[in-house]
Amino acid sequence: MTTHAPAPTPAPDKGWRPGGVEALVVVLLVLLLGQHWLSGLFTSPAWQAGATIFVSIVVQATPFLVLGVVLSGLIAAYVPPEFFARVLPKHPALAVPVAGVAGVCIPGCECASVPVAGGLMARGVAPAAALAFLLSSPAINPVVIVSTFIAFPNNHVMALARFVASLATAVIMGWLWLRFGRGEWLRVPNRDHLVGSSRFETFRRTAGHDFLHAGGFLVIGGLTSAVLNVVVPQSWLQAVADRPVISVVALAGLAVVLSICSEADAFVAASLGQFSLTARLAFLVVGPMVDIKLFALQAGTFGRAFASRFAPTTFVVGVVVASIVGLWLL
Amino acid sequence: MTRDVGSALLVLVGAAILRIAAGDTYLRYVKESMRPWLLTAGAILVLLGLLALVDVWRSVRAEARAHAAGDDGERDHGADPFDDGHGHGSRLPRAAWLLVLPVAALFVVPPPALGAFTAERQQSTTVAPAVGVAPPPLPSGAVVPLTLNDFASRAVWDDGRTLQGRTVTLTGFASAAPGGGWYLTRLALTCCAADATVTKITVKGASFAPTTNQWVTVVGHWVPGGGTQSETAIPWVSAQSMTREAAPKDPYE
């Protein structure tokens, strides 16, 4: 898939060791031959529902992840590094809000934004600015805002509240990173080894590399979310619906657990009618920025040291900002 | 993970996505509107994987030549953040191996569509339409097929005005009602099965009680009694006839 040597003369691997490909072939053969036996194992309804949700999350995320890795490949191959230095303000504190607003440009969901943010950092964009973009783009792009507008026909202000609260959270997180973040927490993706002899080669290597990098973690996220989806009883939610403070935190927590796509979450929020609008705003603000699937993707792309600090902080900032914006607008 | 395995996995993931999107299997997991995106994404992945396999093949040949020249391809990548410490060719995290799971699931035993298990864990939800917007009258015809969600929305939020005196057909599966009995049930997706919401309808005067997950078509008319103006109300339909059905191509609304 990837080569180590600087192009244009890719140096070879040590050759075909017994391992990789052979293991893959064995795994696939076992699966194929054990098909009947395997399908007999998973007949309980809970297993099947869990498997369906897992597969659904992966299948649904794949086109968005492909969009993200194609964009990050294009950035690596066709956008010169000077470009970002030119369009972004020199001072990182100013670059953060600009990058946050630039999130409007990519009509994808959170799966697409992780590889793109990685690509931006690899291209020399200040990490704080790339992180603001990472958080804002899945929440404030036109597709998401329009679907929020449609999902809340009686509370159109919800779309505005979502835009304001998400952008504010993203920019605050960028600034927090600028002030308190440490370089050693963040593993900036290094793509030098992916440079090919032509732009197209660089593009396809970066895209393939990024997909494999994120894909495994997407699977971890999908598995975790599917298990929680099947194991956690929904009745827990009903119990807290009428308690103002707890309900905000509970719905934000639900967003983390469900890991649904930011293009769909407005409709799920609309169906949670027993909760206050502010609690549902917290669901919409936190969901695209912190969820299990996304945490796994971030850990895979930027390292665990980063994700384990960044995600909980984003959760707290998101809940606080959503509560303030909710009190103000809703 | 070595790059040869990685390239093969790209091809396999792409092929698995293409396979389910070529038939109707993908409808168990995502909306019909996702199909072109699945086909595009699957094709891109297969292509990236095949080209990467060509890279691998070329470098194996280059290695054979370099070996003769005394260069064993030792390179310094100590500073490379992607190196997982497993030596040559290991720039990809071991987690990438997990991509075998969805590939296996889709090629070997694609999981079934969600059904009664999911429905029984959730409350029926009928989201309120925009205030002041009355639903359009039903199309003409002796018997009108309706989605469960459309029926419920008219019954719950418009007090059944547009349903009065009309005969409708509703198709769904049976899920158990708490305390015995069953509901005519249908799940709806926004994006994928992880965001499924459920609509349930009480069938009055049912000619038989279908087993859980059995698909049935009910011909009948709306009767008051299921409650109105509440997102969790479960409306009633009085059955004139009921027939067992095979599961439809798209199990969701």
Mutate: best of A16, A39, A53, A56, partner B, most B CBs <10 A = A56
Q: At what angle do helices A199-231 and A244-258 cross, to 10 degrees?
A: 130
- pLDDT band at residue B239 using 50, 70 and 90 as cut-offs: very high
Residue A177 lies inside a defined structural domain of this protein: yes
Which residues on chain B are in Cβ contact (under 8 Å) with A38?
Answer: 108-109
* Mean pLDDT value across chain B: 87
Nearest CA in chain B to A45: B117
Pairwise CB contact (< 8 Å): B81 & A27 = no
Residue B166 and residue B54 share a domain: no
Highest mean pLDDT among A94-108, A180-194, A259-273, A275-289: A275-289
Nearest CA in chain A to B39: A63
Domain boundary among B63, B95, B111: B111
**Average pLDDT of the residues in B183-211:** 92
DSSP assignment of A124-187 equals T--HHHHHHHHHHHHHHSHHHHHHHHHH-TT-THHHHHHHHHHHHHHHHHHHHHHHH--GGG--
Q: Report yes or no: B168 and B139 within 8 Å, Cβ to Cβ.
A: no
Residue type (1 letter), A232: V
Residue B124 and residue B235 share a domain: yes
Residue B182 lies inside a defined structural domain of this protein: yes
CATH code of the domain containing B234: 2.40.50
Pairwise CB contact (< 8 Å): B193 & A56 = yes
Structure tokens at B81: 């953040």
Q: How many C-beta atoms lie closer than 10 Å to residue A242's C-beta?
A: 11
User: What is the Cα–Cα distance from B239 to B134, expressed in whole angstroms?
Assistant: 26
- Over pLDDT 70: what percentage of chain A? 94
Backbone angles phi, psi at A317, to 5 degrees: -60, -40
> Is the minimum CB–CB distance between A302 and chain B shorter than 8 Å?
no
Given this model, what pLDDT does residue A300 score?
85
- In angstroms and rounded to an integer, the radius of gyration of the C-alpha atoms of chain A is 21
User: What is the Cα–Cα distance from A66 to A112, expressed in whole angstroms?
Assistant: 7
Pairwise CB contact (< 8 Å): A268 & B195 = yes
- Per the model's pLDDT, the better-predicted residue between A288 and A4 turns out to be A288
- Over pLDDT 70: what percentage of chain B? 91
Which residues on chain B are in Cβ contact (under 8 Å) with A223?
Answer: 101
- pLDDT band at residue A18 using 50, 70 and 90 as cut-offs: low
Query: How far B53 CA lies from chain A's nearest CA (Å)?
Result: 7
- pLDDT band at residue B233 using 50, 70 and 90 as cut-offs: very high
- Per the model's pLDDT, the better-predicted residue between B244 and B190 turns out to be B244
Pairwise CB contact (< 8 Å): A212 & B98 = no
Given this model, what pLDDT does residue B70 score?
67
**Average pLDDT of the residues in A75-93:** 86
Judged by CB atoms within 8 Å, which residues 195-224 of A form the interface with B? Answer: 204-205, 207-209, 211-213, 215-217, 219-220, 222-223
Residue B233 and residue B128 share a domain: yes
Domain encompassing residue B162: 117-245
Residue B90 and residue B130 share a domain: no
> Is the minimum CB–CB distance between A11 and chain B shorter than 8 Å?
yes
Query: How far A9 CA lies from chain B's nearest CA (Å)?
Result: 9
Residue B207 and residue B136 share a domain: yes
Residue B191 lies inside a defined structural domain of this protein: yes
Which residues on chain A are in Cβ contact (under 8 Å) with B29?
Answer: 52, 55-56, 59-60
Pairwise CB contact (< 8 Å): B40 & A66 = yes
* Mean pLDDT value across chain A: 85
Structure tokens at A14: 């040590």
pLDDT of A68 higher than 90: no
- Per the model's pLDDT, the better-predicted residue between A312 and B227 turns out to be A312
- Per the model's pLDDT, the better-predicted residue between A213 and A165 turns out to be A165
Q: How many CB pairs under 8 A join A and B?
A: 290
Which residues on chain B are in Cβ contact (under 8 Å) with A12?
Answer: 59-60, 62-63, 66, 73
Residue B22 and residue B123 share a domain: no
Query: How far B250 CA lies from chain A's nearest CA (Å)?
Result: 14
Tell me which residue in A20, A207, A216 faces B2 most closely, judged by beta carbons. A20
Mutate: best of B39, B53, B91, partner A, most A CBs <10 A = B91
- pLDDT band at residue B148 using 50, 70 and 90 as cut-offs: very high
pLDDT of B86 higher than 60: no
Residue B128 and residue B237 share a domain: yes
Distance from the Cα of residue B26 to its chain's centroid? 7
pLDDT in tens, A31-67: 777 777 777 777 788 888 999 999 998 998 899 889 8
The region of weakest confidence among A114-123, A178-187, A267-276, A314-323 is A267-276
User: What is the Cα–Cα distance from B198 to B119, expressed in whole angstroms?
Assistant: 6
Residue B132 lies inside a defined structural domain of this protein: yes
User: Where are the alpha helices (H) located in B69-182, listed in sequence order?
Assistant: 100-107, 116-121, 148-157
The region of weakest confidence among A35-49, B26-40, B82-96, B110-124 is B82-96
Question: How many domains, chain B?
Answer: 2
Which among A104, A95, A164 is positioned nearest to A130, based on CA atoms? A95
Residue B40 lies inside a defined structural domain of this protein: yes
Residue with tokens 């003409």: B140
> Is the minimum CB–CB distance between A82 and chain B shorter than 8 Å?
no
Which residues on chain A are in Cβ contact (under 8 Å) with B104?
Answer: 27-28, 31
Question: How many domains, chain A?
Answer: 1
Backbone angles phi, psi at B109, to 5 degrees: -135, 90
pTM for the predicted model, two decimal places: 0.83
Given this model, what pLDDT does residue A289 score?
93
Residue with tokens 């418009």: B158
Tell me which residue in B29, B34, B95 faces A216 most closely, judged by beta carbons. B95
Residue A154 lies inside a defined structural domain of this protein: yes
**Average pLDDT of the residues in A256-266:** 81
Residue B156 lies inside a defined structural domain of this protein: yes
pLDDT in tens, A100-147: 998 888 777 777 888 889 888 988 899 999 999 999 999 998 888 988
- Per the model's pLDDT, the better-predicted residue between B42 and B93 turns out to be B42
Residue B72 lies inside a defined structural domain of this protein: yes
Tell me which residue in B5, B81, B113 faces A52 most closely, judged by beta carbons. B113
Tell me which residue in A42, A154, A215 faces B96 most closely, judged by beta carbons. A215
Pairwise CB contact (< 8 Å): B102 & A59 = yes
Which residues on chain A are in Cβ contact (under 8 Å) with B72?
Answer: 14
Given this model, what pLDDT does residue B120 score?
92
Residue A19 lies inside a defined structural domain of this protein: no
pLDDT in tens, A223-247: 888 888 888 776 777 778 778 889 9
Which residues on chain B are in Cβ contact (under 8 Å) with A10?
Answer: 55, 58-59, 62
Cα-Cα-Cα-Cα dihedral sign, residues B69, B70, B74, B75: negative
DSSP assignment of A272-299 equals -TTS-HHHHHHHHHHTTTS-HHHHHHHH
Pairwise CB contact (< 8 Å): A11 & B131 = no
Residue A10 lies inside a defined structural domain of this protein: no
Domain encompassing residue A122: 25-187+194-329
Given this model, what pLDDT does residue A310 score?
95
- pLDDT band at residue B91 using 50, 70 and 90 as cut-offs: low
Residue A1 lies inside a defined structural domain of this protein: no
